[in-house]
Amino acid sequence: MASDSTFDVVSKVDKQEVSNALNQAQKEIAQRYDFKGVGAELDFSGESILMKANSEERVKAVLDVFQSKLVKRNISLKSLDAGEPYASGKEYRLEASIKEGIDQPTAKKITKLIRDEGPKSVKATIQGDELRVSSKSRDDLQSTIALLKDFEDADLQFINFR
């Protein structure tokens, strides 16, 4: 076991970069002419982000501004979990959250993908909200990383490669 090489698969988001993207989006919404008089707002409380405007199109435009700021700060949109706009009184609201960690169903998908399509010597184990991938061959681990880079369901990072 000591000769095995390993790496961890995690899904983490830099909270400071999210905060910076949020502040930039709030400034742009306050300054842009097409958002004047439509009650467009972007609020952040704890883990959830609340967008408000007086029409469904405007609230989607607020989401688009926020998404563009996230992309500029190198945060994957896979980690943004946005819902659908809904009416609340005279305004429309849209709730979103930032996903961190790999949830159980996604972890099981990843381990199944590694088992089915990865090299045979590679083993993946779920450890809380991350995965540990191990093998005797470092080349097999690198091919596994290449396989997981195309994974669609979550934004994955690979750390502790030893």
Tokens of 112: 């199944």
**pLDDT of res. 154:** 79
**Residue carrying structure tokens 């790999």:** 102
Identify residue 144 by its one-letter amino acid code: T
Q: Collapse the DSSP code of 94 into the 3-class scheme (helix H, G, I; strand E, B; otherwise coil) and give the result.
A: strand
**pLDDT of res. 20:** 93
CATH topology of domain 5-12+102-159: Alpha-Beta Plaits (3.30.70)
Phi, psi of 125 (to 5 degrees): -125, 140
pTM of the model: 0.81
**pLDDT of res. 7:** 87
Where do the CATH 3.30.70.860 domains begin and end in the chain?
5-12+102-159
Largest CA distance in the chain: 65
Q: Please give the CATH number for the structural domain made up of 15-98.
A: 3.30.70.990
Closest by CA to 99, choosing from 126, 127, 70, 125, is 70
> CA 11 from chain center: how many Å?
7
39 exposed, middle or buried (CB, 10 Å; 0-12, 13-18, 19+)?
A: middle
**Residue carrying structure tokens 């979550």:** 154
**Residue carrying structure tokens 């949830």:** 103
**pLDDT of res. 62:** 92
pLDDT per residue rounded down to tens, the chain (162 residues)? 446 888 888 888 888 999 999 999 999 999 989 888 888 889 888 778 999 999 889 999 999 999 999 999 998 888 888 889 989 888 999 999 988 888 888 888 888 988 888 888 888 888 888 888 888 888 888 888 888 888 887 788 888 878
